[in-house]
Amino acid sequence: MAINNSRLVTYSPAYTIVPTYECFNRCSYCNFRTEPGKSPWMNISDAASILKPLQSEKVCEILILSGEVHPHSSKRQAWFGRIYDLCELALSMGFLPHSNAGPLSFAEMQMLKGVNVSMGLMLEQLTPTLLNSVHRHAPSKLPEVRLQQLKWAGELQIPFTTGLLLGIGESTNDWWETLAAIAQFHQRYHHIQEVILQPHSPGFQQSFNAPPFNPHQLPEVIAKAREILPADITIQIPPNLVKDDQWLLACIEAGARDLGGISPKDEVNPDYPHLQEQLLREILHPGGWELIERLPVYPQFDGWLSEKLQTSVRWWRNTFKSHFEV
């Protein structure tokens, strides 16, 4: 049966590995971090024990999601080495790594390119006013630092995911300016795979006292984002943060076409369990949408990968050929 490409919604069968929850930033809306020195780091043998049973499941992406160690910390080299080793481990066990570990140096990004099929970093919002509120104690959230990562990823030809966090004190115009900046970098380097539009969703750990972003506003934001962003950038929304099935469908109709990595736990929003594959299919089906798996690297970027990474990607594309040739 032929697949109607215009009615496809994608997701990545994923599992998240957290090297460490400790982070030198203290964003007031964060529900992920722990204080430096208060959280043990994931070791390689424990990670191998977690990944081994996943080899018999439909999991292709291993998201390496880490708290940040200060660039000048004596622990930075060990922290980066742990992330690199975890990516190597995931690759050796047949998975495709995607790292999101905060701002990295050019050299660090270049090294990780060899053991990741794609990487990511949220811009969140580029307005400097947030440095006086939610980002007051978050040195790596300087807009110029985040934008530097997009530039370096483009120069290094790293397939990249970025995005906006909505409802943390920014204005509507800030959304459009941040999206325009992403579009500008992509038009130069053609390296952005996806832009995530993530609504702020309060959790039990955060100190930021603000209501959740209204998910009923999301379709309007998505439609405008679709106008601003180049057509070859996919818009992603996290379905566990859009609780109403009809509004999730409205987001899809407005132009969102990806639901991100679906794993047992949303580490960034631990108070909001992921909706699993079968439930998502049931939500999408009445709207005439088909949910299909994707890899953490889009086909147009395969040629940017090393031969070793391309071999792993080809295996996955062949394994799910009927799904990925869309």
Domains in the chain and their CATH numbers? 5-324 (3.20.20.70)
Phi/psi at 116 (5° precision): -135, 140
Q: Which is nearest to 286 in space by CA: 241, 248, 242? A: 248
Q: What average pLDDT does the chain have?
A: 95
Length of the chain: 326
Region 160-186: mean pLDDT is 98
At 50-81, the pLDDT tens digits run 999 999 998 999 999 999 999 999 999 999 99
CA 167, CA 217: separation in Å to the nearest integer? 11
- What is the model's pTM? 0.95
Which residue(s) pair with 290 in the sheet? Answer: 8
User: Measured in Å, how far apart are the chain's first and last C-alpha atoms?
Assistant: 13
Q: What is the 3-state secondary structure (H, E, C) of the chain?
A: CCCCHHHEEEEEEEEEECCCCECCCCCCCCCCCECCCCCCCCCHHHHHHHHHHHHHCCCCEEEEECCCCCCCCCCHHHHHHHHHHHHHHHHHCCCEEEEECCCCCHHHHHHHHCCCCEEECCCECCCHHHHHCCCCCCHHHCHHHHHHHHHHHHHCCCCEEEEEEECCCCCHHHHHHHHHHHHHHHHHHCCEEEEEEEECCCCCCCCCCCCCCCHHHHHHHHHHHHHHCCCCCEEECCHHHCCCHHHHHHHHHHCCCEEEEECCCCCCCCCCCCCCHHHHHHHHHHHCCEEEECCCCCHHHHHHCCHHHHHHHHHHHHHCHHHHCC
3 has pLDDT over 70: no
Q: In b/e form, how buried is each residue of 182-205, taking b as 16+ CB within 10 angstroms?
A: bbebbeebebbbbbbbbbbbbbee
Tokens standing for residue 5: 């490409």
At 86-116, the pLDDT tens digits run 999 999 999 999 999 999 999 999 999 999 9
At 4-15, the pLDDT tens digits run 567 999 999 999
pLDDT bucket at 123, cuts 50 / 70 / 90: very high
